[in-house]
Amino acid sequence: MSQFAFINSLNSAVKMDEPITRGPIPRYEKRKILESSNLNSSAALNSSKNKSFNSSISSKTPKKPLEHSTVRKTPSKTPKKSPGPTANATTPGKAKTPTGGDRFISNRSTIGFELAQYKMAQENVNANGPENLDADQKERHQIITENLTGRDLSGTRILEYQKKAPIPPEGYQNHLKVVYSQSKTPMSSKSANRYIPHAPERILDAPDIIDDYYLNLVDWSITNILAVALGNSVYLWNAETGSIDHLLELEGADYVCSVNWIQEGNYIAVGTSLGSVQLWDVPQTKRLRIMDGHSVRVSSLSWNSYILSSGSRSGQIIHHDVRQRDHLVATLLSHSHEVCGLKWSTDGRYLASGGNDNLLNIWSGIPGQATFQTTPIYALSSHQAAVKALAWCPWQPSLLASGGGTADRKIRFWNCNTGVCMSDIDTQSQVCSLVWVPAFKEIVSGHGFANNQLVIWKYPALTKVAELTGHTARVLHLALSPDGTTVLSAGADETLRMWRCFVSDRKKETQCKTIETSILRPHIR
């Protein structure tokens, strides 16, 4: 029985919830009661017990006074468990409680148990005090306040002066409105020296224009005729008169993949999805010849006098000599994916080809002739995406600008004499096309996501001059008018927009450009 009582009292002490008030009476109290009840019956025993307690307290010191052991009677009265009398003397708790079995009971009066119990009870009262939070909740509170304020506010009080500052006068508007301009990115300070309209001068519809990054569907001839391929047709828009001619329509599932005007502007080459290249005489609206050679779609074309170079989806580049019956003069195999960018330099000394294999190859050429080298002079692998946008600088031969696709977003400027990338711009957007504007020494880039904008950059400062927004889908192609004042952009939103941003006093100079006589003219019958 007594051992259960002991466990109960132990449990209630361990619980720490409240002061031990209910449940069985603590053992030490029980003993007190028992002792007092036994007082009458065994006064001698008790007195001897008390004595033994007293002696035990003092006997804890190593020097044991002799008379204590002689006076003591308890060891002889209780059954001995420990062998020697010295052990009895040093372990005072050998005295048995009247009801207990043979267990070791420590002397509670020496431990100060009541004080400890009181203290523990006090602690519990404090823990259940006004805060009433356990450790987890406290920690959560602290984390929340730290998250909200950036630091723990528990040790802080926020004070305010109760007489508030006056409010601004009624009807006052923040004068800083003028400081906040509408521009999204900081522009170059030089941009102020001319007026750049931020809206297109003209918008034309281009229904069914194929939204394909790899095609080249727009070209503007030197005779001021704009050729646009829409689906399986090619339309010619005369920029002077505004008249529209339907040049050709392909049959079946065939569609136009590329158009390119010869330098003189009287013939146009059309690449098709079935791999043939058609040559058209525009003034007579007559097809001159069909040149086969590719087995897959011809997505890029470029003229170098009478040599027409075509790049196809297979990565092949073929030079066609349009004068000869056997037109296929050379095949270049260097790209492993679709050749989407192909441009002869203005002086005909270099051919740049950009492919979907992220490569930009520079081939050497001789003006007016095909190149017969089977390896490029430079294979540049700096771009991280397809290289479609290519543009040779008109005033600085051997300077090439190239733009990468979505994964790259960079415009790079190359010196093709050395094959060195001289500078680059991170445009933050897919570069779909590039065109140089010689009158202002600027370059225009057409972009895709997110703003679908055109950006005018100063070269070589590479500062942003203006950003032209308006297209609702990516700007696929760009073309510069022959007078150099207007840039045409063809967007995937099926519109063509003309941006007349390059009007200058030097307009006369650019118009004075003499049209060179064609070498080709006498040769094609």
Partner 1 sequence: MAATIQKTTNAITLKGSVKLITEYLNFGIQNILYQRGVYPPETFRAEEHFGISILISTNPKIHDFLQKILGQMKEWLVKEQIQQLSLVITSISTKETLERWDFKIEYDTRNDGTDEVTGNKDIKIIQKEIRDVLRQICSTVSFLPLLDCPCSFDLHIYATPEAEIPDQWGERGPCFISNSEELQLKSFTTSIHRMNTIVSYKAD
**175 makes contact with partner 1 (CB under 8 A):** yes
**What is the smallest separation between the CB atom of 181 and partner 1, expressed in angstroms?**
11
Closer to partner 1 by Cβ: residue 148 or 512: 148
Coil, helix or strand for 511? helix
Dihedral, 316, 319, 324, 328 alpha carbons, nearest 10? -20
In a 10 Å sphere around its CB, with 0-12 CB exposed, 13-18 middle and 19+ buried, how is residue 257 labelled? Answer: buried
Closer to partner 1 by Cβ: residue 163 or 508: 163
Closer to partner 1 by Cβ: residue 131 or 281: 131
In a 10 Å sphere around its CB, with 0-12 CB exposed, 13-18 middle and 19+ buried, how is residue 480 labelled? Answer: buried
* Structural Rg of the chain based on CA atoms: 49
Looking at residues 386 to 405 of the shown chain, list those that interact with partner 1 (rule: CB under 8 A): none
**189 makes contact with partner 1 (CB under 8 A):** no
Q: Which of 1, 14, 179, 253 binds partner 1 (CB under 8 A)?
A: 179
**What is the smallest separation between the CB atom of 130 and partner 1, expressed in angstroms?**
16
Fill in the amino acid letter for 255: Y
CA distances for 295 relative to 310, 314, 320, 328, angstroms: 12, 8, 15, 14
Query: Does residue 450 have a cis peptide bond before it, meaning omega lies within 30 degrees of 0?
Result: yes
Looking at residues 131 to 170 of the shown chain, list those that interact with partner 1 (rule: CB under 8 A): 148-149, 153, 155-169
Fill in the amino acid letter for 310: S
Q: Which of 174, 182, 185, 514 binds partner 1 (CB under 8 A)?
A: 174
Quote the CA–CA distance of 256 and 217 in Å, as a whole number: 8
Quote the CA–CA distance of 296 and 273 in Å, as a whole number: 7
Query: Which residue is associated with the tokens 């007195």?
Result: 47
Quote the CA–CA distance of 413 and 423 in Å, as a whole number: 5
**What is the smallest separation between the CB atom of 154 and partner 1, expressed in angstroms?**
9
Closer to partner 1 by Cβ: residue 164 or 325: 164
Query: Which of 233, 240, 238, 179 shows the shortest CA–CA distance to 206?
Result: 233
Coil, helix or strand for 497? strand
Query: Which of 510, 487, 508 shows the shortest CA–CA distance to 202?
Result: 487
Partners of 202 in the β-ladder: 498
**What is the smallest separation between the CB atom of 179 and partner 1, expressed in angstroms?**
6
Quote the CA–CA distance of 54 and 305 in Å, as a whole number: 126
Question: Other C-beta atoms within 10 Å of 90: how many?
Answer: 15
Q: Looking at 3-11, 176-184, 227-235, 336-344, which segment touches partner 1 (CB under 8 A)?
A: 176-184
Closer to partner 1 by Cβ: residue 84 or 169: 169
**What is the smallest separation between the CB atom of 189 and partner 1, expressed in angstroms?**
15
**What is the smallest separation between the CB atom of 178 and partner 1, expressed in angstroms?**
10
**182 makes contact with partner 1 (CB under 8 A):** no
**What is the smallest separation between the CB atom of 183 and partner 1, expressed in angstroms?**
12
Query: Which of 391, 347, 353, 390 shows the shortest CA–CA distance to 368?
Result: 347
Closer to partner 1 by Cβ: residue 160 or 516: 160
Closer to partner 1 by Cβ: residue 167 or 512: 167
Looking at residues 327 to 386 of the shown chain, list those that interact with partner 1 (rule: CB under 8 A): none
Closer to partner 1 by Cβ: residue 135 or 165: 165
Query: Which of 203, 188, 200, 259 shows the shortest CA–CA distance to 441?
Result: 188
DSSP letter string, 290-315: EE---SS-EEEEEEETTEEEEEETTS
Q: Looking at 99-107, 172-180, 294-302, 357-365, which segment touches partner 1 (CB under 8 A)?
A: 172-180
The answer to whether 18 touches 124, Cβ cutoff 8 Å, is yes
**What is the smallest separation between the CB atom of 337 and partner 1, expressed in angstroms?**
42
**172 makes contact with partner 1 (CB under 8 A):** yes
**What is the smallest separation between the CB atom of 447 and partner 1, expressed in angstroms?**
23
Q: What is the token pair recorded at 481?
A: 């008018």
Q: Which of 22, 63, 177, 325 binds partner 1 (CB under 8 A)?
A: 177
Closer to partner 1 by Cβ: residue 163 or 325: 163
**What is the smallest separation between the CB atom of 124 and partner 1, expressed in angstroms?**
26
Closer to partner 1 by Cβ: residue 111 or 153: 153
**What is the smallest separation between the CB atom of 174 and partner 1, expressed in angstroms?**
4
**101 makes contact with partner 1 (CB under 8 A):** no
Closer to partner 1 by Cβ: residue 155 or 207: 155
**What is the smallest separation between the CB atom of 184 and partner 1, expressed in angstroms?**
13
**What is the smallest separation between the CB atom of 138 and partner 1, expressed in angstroms?**
17
Looking at residues 12 to 31 of the shown chain, list those that interact with partner 1 (rule: CB under 8 A): none
Closer to partner 1 by Cβ: residue 83 or 150: 150
**122 makes contact with partner 1 (CB under 8 A):** no
The answer to whether 445 touches 411, Cβ cutoff 8 Å, is yes
Closer to partner 1 by Cβ: residue 162 or 193: 162
Query: Which of 336, 426, 342 shows the shortest CA–CA distance to 382?
Result: 426
Count of residues of this chain found to bind partner 1 when the rule CB under 8 A is applied:
25
Question: Other C-beta atoms within 10 Å of 106: how many?
Answer: 11
Q: Which of 62, 180, 195, 241 binds partner 1 (CB under 8 A)?
A: 180
The torsion region of residue 397 among left (phi > 0), alpha (psi -120 to 50) and beta comes to beta
Q: Which of 1, 115, 176, 512 binds partner 1 (CB under 8 A)?
A: 176
Residues in the site for partner 1, rule: CB under 8 A? 148-149, 153, 155-169, 172, 174-177, 179-180
